A = this chain, B = another copy of it.
Amino acid sequence: MTHPFDAAIALHPEADNRYGGHTSAAYANMVGPFGGITAASLLHAICRHPARLGDPLAFTVNFAGPVADGPFQLHAVPVRTNRSTQHWRVELIQDDTVATTATAVFGVRRETWSSNELTRPAVPPAAEVAVTPPPGRVAWMAQYELRYITGGLPDFRHLPAPDDSIRRDTTTAVWVRDEPQRPLDFLSLASICDVFIPRIYLRRARPVPAGTVSITTYFHADAAVLAAQGSEPVLGVARAQNFRNGFFDQSAEVWGAGEVLLASTHQIVYYKE
């Protein structure tokens, strides 16, 4: 049986550098698809391209306009191939209009001196943290098992009035895995990097219209690290840095088994407040 994630990112080749896909009801957001699944679909087009060299290192996705429910085309172009790195340009197109743009750097890693600089925050193991029931109104959140240690969805039934004198911390720490379980790969990791609720919900303690404009993910994991992860939960830790005149940024880390950093990910988000 095909996992819903694999069904959602499924592509069929249409021509050189061109693939067809279709949005998935299982990964729908309030309007259009969840950004993470769109990012994973774009990365998928590179991963299955016959010219692909190595694994993802850096991946930037710009959400240029809404993606409508229905079919879409992906245009994935290997712009430059070096001995051990490869640069890609990808676009998601609907009705001859570009809805999403992306660039990616792929590479073949060699073993070198390695070390972490950040260390993983100390948190209770996933098994000791309660699973948050998905809010009914957002389909994609039911595709993830989310265990919030801190910074979960505010209780929107009890909204305090905005109070600028309160500076709430926007940090989220959450254990995440695909629901149902699925062994982690670069595609599901790319999607998980967008799993964090908008930081402004936490800062303002209420829902605020918001949407990711651009997300950049750096992959620290290689295929061996991902294989060791299997379908165990990963720990995501996210925080905002600055909110200014309609846009805020978020930086986050995704940690795997053995407290290994799998990915660091950054995004800038539109908000209306």
Contact = CB atoms under 8 A, between A and B. Distances in A.
A85 B111 CA distance: 42
A62 B90 CA distance: 14
B58 A80 contact: no
A112 interface: yes
A243 B203 contact: no
Interface string A105-125: 101011111111110000000
B242 A117 contact: yes
A172 interface: no
Q: How many copies does the complex hold?
A: 2
Interface of A: 57-58, 60, 62, 64-65, 79-80, 82, 85, 87, 89, 91, 97-99, 101-103, 105, 107, 109-118, 162, 164, 167, 170, 199, 203-204, 213-214, 216, 218, 220, 222, 239-249, 251, 253, 261, 264, 266, 268, 270-273
Contacts of A80: 64-65, 97-99, 101
B112 A271 contact: yes
A105 B246 CA distance: 14
Contact of A253 (B60, B167, B241, B264): B241
Contacts of A64: 79-80, 82, 85, 87
B246 A109 contact: yes
Contact of A117 (B214, B243, B266): B243
A264 B248 CA distance: 11
A73 to B, nearest CB: 15
A62 B267 CA distance: 17
A222 B245 contact: yes
A246 to B, nearest CB: 5
Contact of A109 (B98, B101, B204, B247): B247
A114 to B, nearest CB: 4
Nearest to A91: B79
Contacts of A89: 89, 101
